[in-house]
Amino acid sequence: RAQFQAYEDLLDKHGLAPGEVGLAWLLTRPGVTGPIVGPRTPEQLAGALRALELELSEELLAELDAIFPGPGPSPEAFAW
């Protein structure tokens, strides 16, 4: 999909790993106290731990929101 390619291209430009940024981004979301991870290898665990120290700039967060805009504001976007 084009969104995933744009995501990977953006992270390549910044020298960041997709999985680490995904976890770091989750930690910036209100209401998320800790993402659940299930690493299968020591390398995956190391990447998840690096995400805890990764600080995403406002510019990068804005670019991520442009790629993945989400459904809209809560709770309205999730009301049936």
Domain layout of the chain by residue ranges:
2-78
Please say whether the beta carbons of 20 and 49 come within 8 A: no
Tokens of 41: 């290898």
pLDDT in tens, 8-39: 999 999 999 999 999 999 999 888 888 889 99
CA dihedral 47, 15, 19, 10 (to 10 degrees): 170
Please name the residue that has the structure tokens 């390398």.
Answer: 43
CA 17 to chain centre: 10
Identify the residue with better confidence: 78 or 26. Answer: 26
Burial state string for 44-68 with b = 16 or more CB within 10 A and e = fewer than 16? eeebbeebeeeebeeebeebbeeee
pLDDT at 72: 80
